[in-house]
Amino acid sequence: MKPAFLTRLGARRQSHLLILWILVIVWPLITPNAYWVSMGSAFFINLLLIASLNLLVGLTGLTSLAHAAFWGLGAYTSGMLAVHAGVTPWLGTLGAMGISALFSIVIGWPTLRLSGHYLAMATLGFNAIFSVLLTGLVSWTGGPNGLIGIPAYTLGGLDVSSPTAIFVAYWLVTGLILLSLSFLGNSRAGRALRVIHSSDTAAACMGIPVLRYKLGVFVLANTIAALAGALYAHQNQFVSPDVFSFSTSILLLVMVAIGGFGRYWGPFFGALIFTALPELTRSLHDSELLIFGIAMIVVVGFMPAGIAGGLANLKSRLSLRRPSA
Partner 1 sequence: MDSNTLQIIFSGLGTGSIYALIAVGFNVIFKSTGALNFVQGEWVMMGGILAAFCFNDINMPVWQACLIAGVAVALIGGLTERFLVRPLVNQTPFALTLVTVGIALLSKSLVMLSLGKNPVGYPGLSTTTSTHILGASVATQTLWILGITLTLMALTHVFFSYTRWGCAMRAAAANPRAAALVGIRHSRVVFSAFVLAAAMGGLAGTIITPLTLMSYDAGAMLGFKGFSAAMLGGLGSLFGAMAGGLILGLLESLVSGFVTSQFKDALAFLVLLLVLVLRPQGLLGKPEVVKL
The reply to whether 25 sits near partner 1 by the rule CB under 8 A is no
* Contacting range for partner 1; rule: CB under 8 A; set: 25-33, 86-94, 289-297, 306-314: 289-297
- Closest distance between partner 1 and the C-beta of residue 282, in Å? 15
Decide: is 31 part of the binding site for partner 1 (CB under 8 A): no
Closest CA to 82 of 5, 179, 149, 3: 149
Residue in 81, 147, 239, 253 binding partner 1, rule: CB under 8 A: 253
Residues 39-58 contacting partner 1, CB under 8 A: none
Euclidean distance between CA atoms 219 and 106, whole angstroms: 10
State the minimum distance, in angstroms, from the CB of residue 255 to partner 1: 12
- The interface region with partner 1, picked from 152-160, 227-235, 270-278, 297-305 by CB under 8 A, is 297-305
CB 264 within 8 A of CB 182: yes
Query: How wide is the angle at C-alpha 121 spanned by C-alphas 117 and 123, nearest 5°?
Result: 115
Min separation Cβ 221 and partner 1, Å: 18
Alpha-helical (H) ranges within 86-162 are 89-111, 116-136, 138-141
Pick from 70, 132, 127, 123: which is nearest to 96 by CA? 70
**Toward partner 1, which CB reaches closer, 53 or 166?**
53
Which one, of 215, 94, 52, 72, lies nearest residue 142 by Cα? 72
Give the span between the Cα atoms of 141 and 130, in whole angstroms.
Answer: 12
Tell me the residue type at 323.
P
204 binds partner 1 (CB under 8 A): yes
Considering the complex, what minimum distance in angstroms separates the CB of residue 114 from partner 1? 6
CB of 120 to partner 1, least distance (A): 7
Min. distance of Cβ 226 from partner 1 in angstroms? Answer: 20
For residues 268 and 47, the answer to whether their CB atoms sit within 8 Å is yes
Going through 157-199 in order, the beta strands assigned E by DSSP cover: 158-159
Nearer to partner 1 (CB atom), residue 82 or residue 257 = 257
Helix (H, G, I), strand (E, B) or coil at 147: strand
210: contact with partner 1 by CB under 8 A:
yes
Of the candidate residues 11, 202, 205, 290, the single one contacting partner 1 (CB under 8 A):
290
Q: Where do runs of H (alpha helix) occur along 237-305?
A: 246-259, 266-280, 288-302
Would you count residue 110 as binding partner 1 (CB under 8 A)?
A: yes
Please report whether residue 128 would count as binding partner 1 according to CB under 8 A: yes
DSSP code per residue over 191-241: HHHHHHHH-HHHHHHTT--HHHHHHHHHHHHHHHHHHHHHHHHHHHSEE-G
Q: Which residues bind partner 1 (CB under 8 A)?
A: 63, 110-111, 113-118, 120-122, 124-126, 128-129, 132-133, 136, 200, 204, 210-211, 246-247, 250, 253-254, 257, 286-287, 289-290, 292-297, 300-302, 304
